[in-house]
Amino acid sequence: MTANTAVNQTDKNSPTTIYLKDYLPPAFLIEKTHLTFQLDPEKTTVTSVLQCVANPKAAPSQSLTLHGQDLKLVRLQLNNKALTAADYCVEEESLTIHAVPDAFTLTCVTEISPATNSSLEGLYKSRTMYCTQCEAEGFRKITYYLDRPDVLSEFTTTVIGDKQQFPVLLSNGNLVASEQLENGFHSATWHDPFKKPAYLFALVAGDLQVVEDNFITCSGRNVVLKIFVEPKDLDKCEHAMASLKNAMKWDEEVYGREYDLDIFMIVAVDDFNMGAMENKGLNIFNTSCVLANPKTTTDAGFARVEGVVAHEYFHNWSGNRVTCRDWFQLSLKEGFTVFRDEEFSSDMGSRTVKRVEDVNVMRTLQFAEDGGPMAHPVQPASFMEISNFYTLTIYEKGAEVVRMYHTLLGPELFRQGSDLYFERHDGEAATIEDFTAAMAEVSGRDFSQFKYWYSQAGTPVVKAEGDYCAQAKTFSLTFEQYCPDTPEAKGSDKKPYHIPVNVSLLGKAGLLPLTLDSQAQPQTEVVLELTEAQQTFVFNDVQEEPVPSLFRGFSAPVKSAYPYKKADLLRITTQDSDGFARFDAMQQLAVVAIFDVMAALRKQEEWQLEPLLLNAVKELLTNEALDPAMVALMCTLPSQAYMSGLATPIEVELIHQARNAVKAAIAEQCFDLWLAVYNRCLSTKAYAFNANDVALRSLKKVALEYLMVKPTEEVLALCVKQFNNADNMTDESAAMSALVDCTAPLAAKERVDALAQFYERWKDEALVVNLWLSVQAADSTPGALKRVEALLKHPAYDSANPNKIRSVVSVFCNQNAVNFHAIDGSGYVFLADQILVLNKQNPQIASRLLGPLTKWQKYDVNRQGLMREQLLRIQSEPALSKDVYEVVAKSL
């Protein structure tokens, strides 16, 4: 088993911290890279021939230092001269050749062991196939190289393998040669004409089937599209292919970006640390993000495939053609590409639903990251292990920052800015500053204050107050902003942000026309630009006291507060033209209702469901003109995780109880309405993935959840019927979840039967089994840890497969709060045990699992002690990986 190089604890040194301010260009460039792989499970030979030149833009250097990790060096040759031990020095993570000329060819032969590479970085085996993962720094586990994103090279790759075992041999670019060799071996040579950094390199070898299609680009070129999968998954490629074609077309229409190679390939692999990877011309996907079939995949799964396929495809421009100078610029490609994929998905389905889902992720998960010990700016200033920085802040907050340019500039100028950025930096490694400069140049705007969104960590808090003067007919909005302390800076030292605030004013009969001092033409929505710590905006000619609708569409990633009365919120939920604002107001009403119940439970007092919330729900359930997807979202109570972000210390049990109590009250008091809604949503049409059908299924699911809180015989029968007769996984798994979540004695047998039957039906479908595992890991009834431990021993579990680990361990620790945070600390001990095993086996996954423990400061003193104890236990492990070390050290 190879693991990441363990941190040497005996010398008491922590791993080195790398700083953005220390960036230096590379002393050498690699113009051409020629690789030959002779595949073998334990002894793959990699021959690299590198054409190197001194970098004219860097300080001259006589020696060349290459990155390398877990490599066995077999041979080294400089031009025609074989090098001997005296000519170079091999260290744990590098190879230095003492003297090199200004231009030279370096030939290097190394041996690696893909079969024992359990870290899933570099070249590894996933079931029967070989594949690679090189971002961020995995290429150095393949051969010695300048493994940094600002070294761009033209790659030619020859792969040699046994033809029977590996009929398919793939790498980046175009296939330029294939040969039949002796002893049943064959070879394929691929050439990628586009210069790229090593992190975009890919290789795949396996016995794979292919689904093929084509796309004619806007300039009339034919591009062959291929999706490679294991034979059993051939029936699950159609949706990814359609999504790919939609994404290619969308990128041409919306960004003017045309695909550049003659072939675009996707490969599905089972063992993958992340969702997918944008390697040039050869994207590698976690099966969970590419395979979809109505029978085995939920609507959420379909949406994820559509989004991830598009995301990886969009990287061809935002990431590959224009790449990153260094890893501090990661959000340059990730934030921009997430913004692009979010907009694509909005255009393909329901814009409002997509926005609500994305904002929920920001508010529940990214805000928690921003408020924890791993908080970092969108452009971090330092890191120890870059793998730890593939975060919600880099991706999702980064996308929100790009969205704010879009809001401030409007679509036309934004497009001009992106055109300029792509044109100016094509074939280069760029920086976040380059992106900002392009946006500034096309708009003539000054983004110097806006840049604090990149350099300051933490979620800004914006408090607003309104003041209506009936006499003068003015409405003043006063905003105050501040940003809390984060690990790298005190709040008081942070500069005010440049915040776009989308505002409308609601009158009794709808949106009011707005006249600001600075504007002549009345509109119904304006973008206020908040730049001061405190600032007032005055609207004129306001004929009645309005209810302001603020941060419409979540126009900035901030925590906002306005002293709304409950009736004001109700007005927004029913009258606002912005779907997100309606959802948001409803959620605020629900939060208030849950907090009220928590307060009553704390004092052991009687409580009553907030009547305004109940009325709002009833209105939503009876108004058949509303979008069912919005009804579903608005009737879904804020999650335990969302509620946990609102007050410290987090009262785990109380939130759980109060949420359940509110849910039960709504369920009971609207039972007949829910039943009517459920019946209204039933459909006899065959499954299709489109906004309307998804909307109906989502509302049906929410209806079933409420009905199953306290089911009648009739409801239970409906649920079982849906479980048995559904023609698609969305409905089938919704019924299973409803049964599993149902604690009523009436459903006790059905609950047990459903789980057993589901497994019997789907035990041969790995991704469906993951769903089955996660439903059980999230089951919040008592005794969850025992059940989870049993799942880890179940034949369906595979402790080396990240998807399985996520389905059980992550789901239990992140989505089963009452059990994970059991007051005896057993959940924490369990997680630490898992992390310690994974630390050796797969450090990236181990480090990601640490998340819930790092938030210890948000809990009561008792739990704080128990969580810290486990962090300390992990810290005392003698061979801690860099990945785990960094997160633990920063958390303590």
CA distance 234 to 264: 18
When binding is defined by CB under 6 A, the residue of 274, 511, 620, 643 that contacts ligand 0A1 is: 274
Sign of CA dihedral 43, 49, 54, 58: negative
Q: Are 581 and 562 in contact (CB under 8 A)?
A: no
Told to check if 810 binds ligand 0A1 by CB under 6 A, we report: no
Shortest distance, position 575 Cβ to Zn ion, whole Å: 38
Spatial distance between the Cα atoms of 284 and 277, rounded to a whole number of angstroms: 5
The percent helix, strand, coil of the chain (3-state, each to 5) is 45, 20, 30
Q: Which is nearer to ligand 0A1, 352 or 387 (CB)?
A: 387
Q: Is 273 in the site for ligand 0A1 (CB under 6 A)?
A: yes
Angstrom distances, CA of residue 594 to CA of 103, 591, 637 = 69, 5, 9
**In 362-511, where does DSSP find H-type helix?**
367-370, 392, 398-425, 432-443, 452-455
How many residues belong to the site for ligand 0A1 (CB under 6 A)?
15
Q: Give the whole-angstrom CA distance, residue 301 versus residue 299.
A: 5
The one segment of 179-187, 275-283, 343-351, 847-855 that binds ligand 0A1 by CB under 6 A = 275-283
Task: CB nearer to ligand 0A1: give 402 or 681.
Answer: 402
For ligand 0A1, the closer CB: 119 or 407: 119
Bridge partners, 175 (sequence order) = 190
| Spatial separation of the C-alpha atoms in residues 700 and 682, rounded to whole Å | 7
Which residue is at the shortest CB distance from ligand 0A1?
Answer: 274
How many Cα atoms occupy the beta-carbon half-sphere of 5 within 13 Å? 18
Check 121, 306, 312, 385 and give the catalytic one.
Answer: 312
Question: In this structure, are strands 276-277 and 428-430 parallel, antiparallel, or unpaired?
Answer: unpaired
Bridge partners for 215 per DSSP:
223
CB 276 to ligand 0A1: min, Å: 5
Total residues in contact with Zn ion, by rule CB under 5 A: 2
Residues 316-335 that bind Zn ion (CB under 5 A): 334
For residue 278, indicate whether it is catalytic.
Answer: no
Nearest distance in Å: CB 271, ligand 0A1 = 12
Q: With CB under 6 A as the contact rule, which of the stretches 59-67, 104-112, 269-277, 346-354 interacts with ligand 0A1?
A: 269-277
Q: Which does 133 bind (CB under 5 to 8 A by kind): Zn ion, ligand 0A1, none?
A: ligand 0A1
Q: Shortest distance, CB of residue 273 to ligand 0A1, whole angstroms? A: 5
The least CB distance from residue 352 to Zn ion, in Å, is: 24
The stretch among 146-154, 245-253, 274-282, 421-429 that binds ligand 0A1 (CB under 6 A) is: 274-282
User: Which residues in 825-844 contact ligand 0A1 (CB under 6 A)?
Assistant: 844
Q: Which stretch binds ligand 0A1 (CB under 6 A): 132-140, 230-238, 708-716, 863-871?
A: 132-140
Q: Give the integer Cα–Cα distance in Å for 457 and 494.
A: 9
Amino acid letter for position 558: V
387 interface partner picked from Zn ion, ligand 0A1, none, CB below 5 to 8 A per type: ligand 0A1
- Applying CB under 6 A, among 270, 271, 312, 343 the residue interacting with ligand 0A1 is 312
Kindly write down the DSSP assignment for every residue of 494-528, as one continuous string.
SPPP-EEEEEEEEETTEEPPBEETT-SS-BS-EEE
Contact in structure between 663 and 706 (CB atoms under 8 Å): yes
Site string for Zn ion, 333-372 (x = CB under 5 A): -x--x-----------------------------------
Cα(146)–Cα(131) distance, integer angstroms: 21
Q: Least distance to ligand 0A1 from the beta carbon of 345, Å?
A: 15
391 is a contact residue toward ligand 0A1 (CB under 6 A): no
Query: Does 334 sit near ligand 0A1 (CB under 6 A)?
Result: yes
Q: Which of 110, 153, 156, 387 binds ligand 0A1 (CB under 6 A)?
A: 387
Binding site partner of 390, from Zn ion, ligand 0A1, none, Cβ cut-off 5-8 A by kind: ligand 0A1
Residues near 136 by beta carbon (within 8 Å), at least 6 away in sequence: 199, 327, 330, 386, 387, 390
Please count the other Cβ atoms lying within 10 Å of the Cβ belonging to residue 704.
24
Interactions with ligand 0A1, residue window 531-570 (CB under 6 A)? none
Please give the Cα distance from 388 to 366 (Å, whole number). Answer: 14
- String marking each residue 135-154 x if it binds ligand 0A1 according to CB under 6 A: xx------------------
Q: Is 342 in the site for ligand 0A1 (CB under 6 A)?
A: no
User: CB-wise, 136 or 778, nearer to ligand 0A1?
Assistant: 136
* Residues near 749 by beta carbon (within 8 Å), at least 6 away in sequence: none
Strand residues in 163-208 grouped as ranges (E): 168-171, 174-180, 185-196, 203-206
Cα–Cα distance measured from residue 318 to residue 256, given in angstroms and rounded to the nearest whole number: 12
Instruction: Provide the annotated active-site residues.
Output: 312
Binding residues for ligand 0A1, rule: CB under 6 A, are 133, 135-136, 273-278, 311-312, 334, 387, 390, 844
Binding residues for Zn ion, rule: CB under 5 A, are 334, 337
